[in-house]
Amino acid sequence: MMLEMEIVKIVAIILALLLSIIGHEIMHGWAAYRFGDNTAKNSGRLSINPIKHIDPIGSLLLPGFLFLVGSPFLFGWAKPVPVNMNIVLANRGTKGAIGVSLAGIGYNFALVAIFALIYLNMGEPSSLLGIFVSTFIIQSIVINAVLGFFNLWPIPPLDGSEALKYFAYSKRWYGMVSWLEKIYPYGFFILLAILATPIASYAFKPIEWLLTKILH
């Protein structure tokens, strides 16, 4: 029974992760499509087929590693959905570009709200199916909250930096636009440096507070 329970929990966690990261990327493409960009649609990336979106490192290796080391939450990413921002800018301007940039984050926080309402109204699980549903809902809340919050950081290549760049462009803050573009090649290393130091524990305090309030 214990082995079956662990398998059920692992499957629920994997599904919650895929729902979070794949949906996040699809929403970028869907928002761009609504603004006249067919790039994602023509490349088949608006499909809900997970095989089209899974990234070997971000969708499999990293989450698997975090799970094995007992991380308090899983994290990962899917293959970026191709978007032609020039088309979006031509059709909807910088507001459209900001909308496309933040679409994935909006999706994640919408799922947090939906699953939080379900969680607050469900009872204790009493069967394997109940354990699966409970685990899926809790992990969906945690993963989407972390993913949405993390992507808000204004550090390239995260969505927050893209939204900030187009906002700055709309305000003609060209110095900020130039600065964001200059640090883009180093963004990944900046993120690693933050995550590898105690700064991360402080940076994630707001989302820890939110999760504590929801999952009390």
The 3-class secondary structure across the chain, one letter per residue, is: CHHHHHHHHHHHHHHHHHHHHHHHHHHHHHHHHHCCCCHHHHCCCCCCCHHHCCCHHHHHHHHHHHHHCCCCCCCCCCCCCCCCHHHHHHHHHHHHHHHHHHHHHHHHHHHHHHHHHHHHCCCCCCCHHHHHHHHHHHHHHHHHHHHHHHHCCCCCCCHHHHHHHHHHHHCCCHHHHHHHHHHHHHHHHHHHHHHCCCHHHHHCHHHHHHHHHHCC
Residue 71 has pLDDT above 70, yes or no: no
- Give residue 54's pLDDT: 83
Question: What pTM was computed for the model?
Answer: 0.91
Selected catalytic residue, list 4, 6, 25, 124: 25
Active site residue 25: yes
Are 55 and 81 spatial neighbours (Cβ–Cβ below 8 Å)?
no
What are the contacts of 48-51 at 24+ separation with CB within 8 A?
A: 48/22, 50/18, 50/22
Q: Work out the mean pLDDT of the chain and round it to a whole number.
A: 89
List pLDDT tens digits, range 116-140: 999 988 888 878 888 899 999 999 9
Mean of the pLDDT values across residues 57-77? Answer: 73
- Give residue 70's pLDDT: 67
Percent of all residues in the chain with a pLDDT value above 90, rounded to a whole number: 56
